[in-house]
């Protein structure tokens, strides 16, 4: 478990240190990504219910969408 936390630390801090990379998709090119039909989880109350159904009916669990994120559109 210690190794898992250390890995996450390295990933987060390492990535945070590389923020000077030039964005290859410019802010003015994000019109499509900002469209509501491109939202990762447009209806959280409905999708969390469906994920609950999956977890009750199936042996598998976890890593079902809803992992945050965005396109920097707002």
- Interface positions with another protein (CB under 8 A): 1-2, 4-5, 8-9, 11-13, 15-16, 18-19, 21-25, 27, 29-33, 35-38, 40, 43-46, 49-50, 53-54, 56-65, 67-72, 74
Cα separation, 64 vs 51, whole angstroms: 7
* Residue 15 CB, nearest approach to another protein (Å): 5
**Smallest distance from the beta carbon of 42 to another protein, in angstroms?**
9
Compute CA distances 70 → 3, 20, 40, 42, 60, whole Å: 28, 19, 8, 12, 26
**For 22, which DSSP code?**
P
CB of 63 to another protein, least distance (A): 4
């Amino acid at each position: 478990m210690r190794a898992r936390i250390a890995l996450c630390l390295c990933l987060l801090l390492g990535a945070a240190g590389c923020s000077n990379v030039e964005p290859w998709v410019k802010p003015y090119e994000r019109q499509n990504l900002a469209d509501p039909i491109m939202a990762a989880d447009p209806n959280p109350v409905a999708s969390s219910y469906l994920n609950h159904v999956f977890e009750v009916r199936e042996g598998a669990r976890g890593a079902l969408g809803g992992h945050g994120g965005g396109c920097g559109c707002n």
